[in-house]
Amino acid sequence: MLLKIVQTGDPVLREPARPLTPADLATAELQQLIELMRETMRDAPGVGLAAPQVGVPLQLAVIEDVGESEAQERKPVPFHVIATPRLTLGDEVVEHHEGCLSIEGFQALVPRARAVTVEALDHRGQPVTIRAAGWYARILQHEIDHLNGTLYIDRMKTRTFSSSSRRNLTRARG
């Protein structure tokens, strides 16, 4: 079963989500939500999905990336869960285009820290520390923003906001 991904305008995307405890993550209900979020993310397809994006105001996100690109410092990232994350940003900022499953059909250039450290709980409620750089760091920042009621359009370079459709991009350049 796939979950419905809510779109911009739904109030759940603009409110800070509720933190989770290890006891919360041990429940069958949360474990089922994680599995449904994984299936929904893969079907979309996406590289991350935060619980608020499926209408659930909890500090929970699933992440998985199978892509690779030297230009984006992008390497495969195995499936994992972050809950109740604390984010520390590195000093260097880089810009890349981002899209979002909750802002379907658009993208924009977004400045973000090149490297981050995230302290969170994993799917079992165990503490984890993630040090990430490049595209993985960008995914983490994007998903953690969702948990705080922030969308990439709040951080984007507004003049770069455009349709992600190739046809429209080609027309705009012509």
Q: List the structure tokens of 22.
A: 């290890």
Reported for 52-55, long-range contacts at CB under 8 A and 24+ positions apart, including other chains, are 52/6, 52/12, 52/13, 52/15, 52/17, 52/146, 52/147, 52/149, 53/5, 53/6, 53/13, 53/101, 53/102, 53/146, 54/3, 54/4, 54/5, 54/6, 55/3, 55/4, 55/6, 55/10, 55/12
Q: Which of 68, 73, 92, 143 is catalytic?
A: 143
Q: Pairing relation of β-strands 162-163 and 106-113?
A: antiparallel
Q: List the structure tokens of 144.
A: 């953690």
Are residues 25 and 35 in contact, defined by beta-carbon separation less than 8 angstroms? no
- Whether 104 is catalytic is no
Active site residues: 143
